[in-house]
C-alpha cells in the first residue's frame, strides 16, 4: 500500500504518479489522503490498480477511468467517473450531478444518493445507485444499465436510446419516449448480476424496468415539420 | 460561473471568528469568480440603523459626510470609514431621508445596504485583495454571505458585484444568470422598486423585496421566484434573522451544504467548507432543486 497525501503532494503529481502505473507492477494499492474536495482526482488511470480516496472530492473524480478500481470513502462532486471506459468506481457517500456521464463501460456504484442527470448520455457503463437519483437522469442514454434502489426524479430517461433502466422505488415522471417495459427472465438475470457485482442486497423482482419506446429516434414522417 | 459561500452560526462562541471563517471560504472560491468579491455580514444590533455606503473617492466624499447628514436630518450621525466603504449610524426613522440627502449631494456615493445589522462590502478585484482591504477576517457576527464573481450579464464594476441589497437587512447573492431580467426590471420600476444597476441579480433581489413588501414571507417570495424568474440560479439570501437557499428546478449551478451543532454552511463546492471546524463530522448534502431552505436564529 502506497499513500499519497494531498496536503504535501500536488494534484498534478498525484495524477502523474497514478497514470504512470502499468499492469503487472507489484504496486497496485494506493491510498489518497486529504482530498479536501479537490477536482479531477485520480483521472485518466489506465492500469488494474486500486485507489482509495479518504474523504470527499470535487468535480470529475475518476474521470476517463480504464481498468482501475477507485474507491471514494466520502461524497463526490459533479461528474464522477465521467466517460469511464472500464474498471470500477465505488462512492461510499452521495454523488452530485451527472455521475457517470457519457460512460462507455465499467461499473459505477454510488452507495448514497445521486443528484440530477445521473447517467446522462451513458454509452455502455453500468451504474448502480443504492439511494435515489435526481431529475433528467439517463437523458439520451444510449447503452448500458442504470439500476436505482431508491426513487427516481422527474423526466427519467428522456429521449432515451437503448440503455436499460431499473428502478425499485417510485419514478416521479418519465421523460419523452421513456416507457415501462416488461421484466423478462433475462432482465432478472442481468439485474441479479449487477446487484451482486455492486454488493447491493436487493431483490431483483422488486424492480421495474424502463426503456425506450423507440418512437423518437426512428424516422417517422409525423415527426417532420 | 461564480462562487457562493455562506455561514450561519448556531454557536455564539464562533461569532468573533465569522469574518475569518468566511474570508477563508471566499478565497477558496477565487477560481469560480476572480473578477470581484463581496460579503454581507450580520453583526450585533444597536439601537440605531446602519447605512453602508461606498465611494470611489472615499477621502473626499466621506470627509464631511456625517456633518452634512446631521445638518440635513437634524439628528446625530456617526461615520465609520473602511477603505472605499463607510458605515453610517443614524436613527432608524431617518434612513429614507439620509438616502435622499446622499443622492442629492455632489460626488458619487452609492448606498450598499441599510438595516439594523447588515453591512455590505464589495469591490472589483481578487477575493483575497478585497478581503484584505476591508479587513474582513476581523469582523464578527451571527451570519454572513460572500460571493466571488465571474461576470456574465453586466460589466465588472462595484455595482455589478454581489451581494445586492434592496430591502432593510436583506441581501442576495447569485450563481447563474437570469434571462428575463430586463422585462422584470421594467415591471418592478413601474411598481416603484429601487433598482440601481443593469445587473440581473439585482433584479432578482428587488423581486424578492417587492414580494415581501406585498405581504409574502421570505419563504413565499423564494417559492414565487421559481415561477417568475427565468434562467439559472442558485440563490443564497440573508435576512436579519438568518439565511436561505434556493436553486432553480434545473439546478445546474452547484451547491453543497454542511451542518453541525455549531453552524450551517453553504459552498458552491465542498472545497470552500474544508477548513470549517468539525467539518469531518458534519452532515454534508446537496440542496434539492426547486426547494426552499431556511435557517433562522
pLDDT tens-digit series, residues A158-213? 999 999 999 999 999 999 999 999 999 999 999 999 999 999 999 999 999 999 99
- Tell me which chain A residues have a C-beta less than 8 angstroms from the C-beta of B280: 55
| Cα-only R_g, chain B | 18
Confidence of residue B107 (pLDDT cuts 50, 70, 90): confident
CB contact under 8 A, B274 and A134: no
Q: Does the N-terminal peptide bond of residue B35 adopt cis geometry, omega within 30 degrees of 0?
A: no
Structural fold of domain B2-43+140-296: 3.60.20
The pLDDT score that the predictor gives to residue A194 is 98
Residue among B249, B284, B289 whose CB faces A56 most closely: B284
- Tell me which chain B residues have a C-beta less than 8 angstroms from the C-beta of A114: none
Question: How far off is chain B from A120, nearest CA to CA, in Å?
Answer: 13
Q: Which residue of B has its CA nearest to A95?
A: B286
The pLDDT score that the predictor gives to residue A223 is 62
Question: How far off is chain B from A113, nearest CA to CA, in Å?
Answer: 10
CB contact under 8 A, A58 and B273: no
The pLDDT score that the predictor gives to residue A225 is 58
Q: How far apart are CA B91 and CA B97, in angstroms?
A: 10
- Could you report the predicted ipTM of this complex, rounded to two decimals? 0.91
- List where CATH 3.60.20.10 sits in chain B: 2-43+140-296
pLDDT tens-digit series, residues A123-157? 999 999 999 999 999 999 999 999 999 999 999 99
Identify from A7, A11, A36 which residue to disrupt to test chain B contact, counting B C-beta atoms within 10 A and taking the largest count: A36
pLDDT tens-digit series, residues B58-93? 999 999 999 999 999 999 999 999 999 999 999 999
More confident position, B189 or A24: B189
Question: How far off is chain A from B127, nearest CA to CA, in Å?
Answer: 19
pLDDT tens-digit series, residues B3-21? 999 999 999 999 999 999 9
CB contact under 8 A, B289 and A78: no
Q: Residue B70: what are its φ and ψ, rounded to 5°? A: -60, -40
% pLDDT > 90, chain B: 90
Residues 35-64 of chain A whose Cβ lies under 8 A from any Cβ of chain B: 36-39, 55-59
Least confident of A101-105, B43-47, B115-119: B43-47
What pTM does this model have?
0.94
CB contact under 8 A, B269 and A37: yes
The pLDDT score that the predictor gives to residue A24 is 75
The pLDDT score that the predictor gives to residue A134 is 98
CB contact under 8 A, B270 and A134: no
CB contact under 8 A, A135 and B289: yes
For residues B170-183, give the mean pLDDT: 95
Cell reading at B242:
438568518
- Tell me which chain B residues have a C-beta less than 8 angstroms from the C-beta of A135: 249, 251, 289
Residue among B274, B286, B289 whose CB faces A37 most closely: B274
Q: What is the mean pLDDT of chain B?
A: 95
Give the CA distances from residue B117 to residues B43, B87, B95, B142, B168, in Å, rounded to whole numbers and listed in that order: 5, 11, 13, 10, 9
The pLDDT score that the predictor gives to residue A27 is 76
Q: Chain B residues with CB-CB distance to A under 8 A? A: 249-252, 254, 256, 269-274, 280, 284-286, 288-289
Residue B170 contacts residue B244 (beta carbons within 8 Å): no
Query: How many other C-beta atoms lie within 10 A of the C-beta of residue A34?
Result: 15
The pLDDT score that the predictor gives to residue A184 is 97
The pLDDT score that the predictor gives to residue B27 is 98
CATH node for B46-115:
3.30.70.120
The pLDDT score that the predictor gives to residue A224 is 62
Confidence of residue A218 (pLDDT cuts 50, 70, 90): confident
Cell reading at B29:
472560491
The pLDDT score that the predictor gives to residue A78 is 98
CB contact under 8 A, A58 and B271: yes
Residues of B with catalytic function:
2
- Does A134 lie at the interface with B, CB-CB under 8 angstroms? yes
The pLDDT score that the predictor gives to residue B218 is 84
**Can you say whether the dihedral through the CA atoms of B31, B32, B34, B37 is positive or negative?**
negative
Q: How far apart are CA B287 and CA B254, in angstroms?
A: 9
For residues A72-99, give the mean pLDDT: 98
- List where CATH 3.30.70.120 sits in chain B: 46-115
CB contact under 8 A, B270 and A75: yes
pLDDT tens-digit series, residues B23-64? 999 999 999 999 999 999 999 888 999 999 999 999 999 999
CB contact under 8 A, B251 and A56: no
Number of inter-chain CB pairs under 8 A, A vs B? 46
pLDDT tens-digit series, residues A43-69? 999 999 999 999 999 999 999 999 999
Q: How far apart are CA B148 and CA B162, in angstroms?
A: 8
Confidence of residue B153 (pLDDT cuts 50, 70, 90): confident
Q: What angle do CA B284, B289, B295 make, to 5 degrees?
A: 55
**Can you say whether the dihedral through the CA atoms of A176, A150, B281, B172 is positive or negative?**
positive
For residues B133-152, give the mean pLDDT: 97
Amino acid at each position: 500500500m502506497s499513500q499519497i497525501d494531498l496536503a504535501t503532494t500536488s494534484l498534478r503529481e498525484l495524477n502523474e504518479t497514478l497514470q504512470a502505473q502499468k499492469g503487472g507492477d507489484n504496486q497496485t494499492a494506493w491510498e489518497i489522503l486529504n482530498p479536501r474536495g479537490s477536482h479531477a482526482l485520480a483521472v485518466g488511470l489506465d492500469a488494474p490498480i486500486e485507489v482509495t480516496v479518504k474523504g470527499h472530492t470535487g468535480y470529475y473524480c475518476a474521470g476517463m477511468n480504464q481498468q482501475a478500481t477507485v474507491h471514494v470513502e466520502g461524497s463526490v462532486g459533479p461528474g464522477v467517473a465521467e466517460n469511464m471506459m472500464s474498471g470500477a468506481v465505488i462512492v461510499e457517500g452521495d454523488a452530485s450531478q451527472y455521475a457517470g456521464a457519457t460512460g462507455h463501460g465499467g461499473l459505477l456504484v454510488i452507495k448514497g444518493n445521486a443528484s440530477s442527470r445521473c447517467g446522462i448520455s451513458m454509452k455502455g457503463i453500468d451504474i448502480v445507485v443504492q439511494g435515489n437519483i435526481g431529475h433528467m437522469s439517463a437523458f439520451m442514454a444510449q447503452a448500458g444499465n442504470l439500476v436505482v434502489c431508491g426513487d427516481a426524479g422527474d423526466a427519467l430517461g428522456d429521449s432515451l436510446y437503448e440503455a436499460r433502466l431499473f428502478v425499485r422505488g417510485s419514478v416521479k415522471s418519465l421523460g419523452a419516449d421513456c416507457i415501462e417495459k416488461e421484466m423478462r427472465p433475462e432482465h432478472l438475470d442481468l439485474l441479479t448480476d449487477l446487484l451482486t457485482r455492486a454488493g447491493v442486497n436487493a431483490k431483483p423482482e422488486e424492480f421495474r424496468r424502463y426503456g425506450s419506446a423507440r418512437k423518437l429516434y426512428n424516422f417517422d414522417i409525423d415527426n417532420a415539420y | 460561473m461564480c462562487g457562493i459561500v455562506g455561514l450561519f452560526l448556531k454557536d455564539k462562541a464562533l461569532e468573533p471568528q465569522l469574518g475569518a471563517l468566511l474570508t477563508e471560504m471566499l478565497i477558496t472560491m477565487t477560481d469560480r469568480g476572480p473578477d470581484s468579491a463581496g460579503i454581507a455580514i450580520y453583526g450585533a444590533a444597536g439601537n440605531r440603523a446602519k447605512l453602508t455606503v461606498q465611494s470611489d473617492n472615499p477621502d473626499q466624499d466621506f470627509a464631511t459626510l456625517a456633518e452634512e447628514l446631521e445638518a440635513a436630518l437634524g439628528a446625530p450621525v456617526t461615520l465609520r470609514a473602511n477603505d472605499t466603504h463607510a458605515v453610517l449610524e443614524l436613527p432608524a426613522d431617518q434612513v429614507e431621508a439620509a438616502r435622499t440627502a446622499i443622492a442629492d449631494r455632489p460626488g458619487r456615493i452609492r448606498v450598499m445596504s441599510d438595516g439594523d445589522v447588515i453591512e455590505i462590502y464589495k469591490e472589483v478585484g481578487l477575493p483575497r485583495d478585497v478581503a484584505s482591504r476591508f479587513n474582513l477576517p476581523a469582523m464578527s457576527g451571527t451570519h454572513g454571505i460572500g460571493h466571488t464573481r465571474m461576470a456574465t450579464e453586466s460589466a465588472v464594476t462595484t455595482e455589478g458585484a454581489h451581494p445586492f441589497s434592496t430591502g432593510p437587512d436583506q441581501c442576495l447573492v447569485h450563481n447563474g444568470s437570469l434571462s428575463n431580467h430586463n422585462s422584470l426590471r421594467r415591471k418592478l420600476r413601474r411598481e416603484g422598486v429601487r433598482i440601481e444597476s443593469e445587473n440581473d441579480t439585482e433584479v432578482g433581489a428587488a423581486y424578492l423585496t417587492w414580494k415581501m413588501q406585498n405581504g409574502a414571507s421570505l419563504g413565499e417570495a423564494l417559492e414565487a421566484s421559481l415561477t417568475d424568474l427565468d434562467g439559472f440560479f442558485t440563490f443564497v439570501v440573508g435576512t436579519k434573522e438568518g439565511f436561505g437557499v434556493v436553486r432553480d428546478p434545473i439546478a445546474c449551478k452547484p451547491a453543497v451544504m454542511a451542518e453541525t451543532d455549531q453552524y450551517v454552511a453553504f459552498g458552491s463546492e465542498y472545497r470552500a467548507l474544508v477548513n470549517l471546524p468539525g467539518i469531518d463530522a458534519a452532515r454534508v448534502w446537496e440542496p434539492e432543486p426547486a426547494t426552499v431552505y431556511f435557517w433562522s436564529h
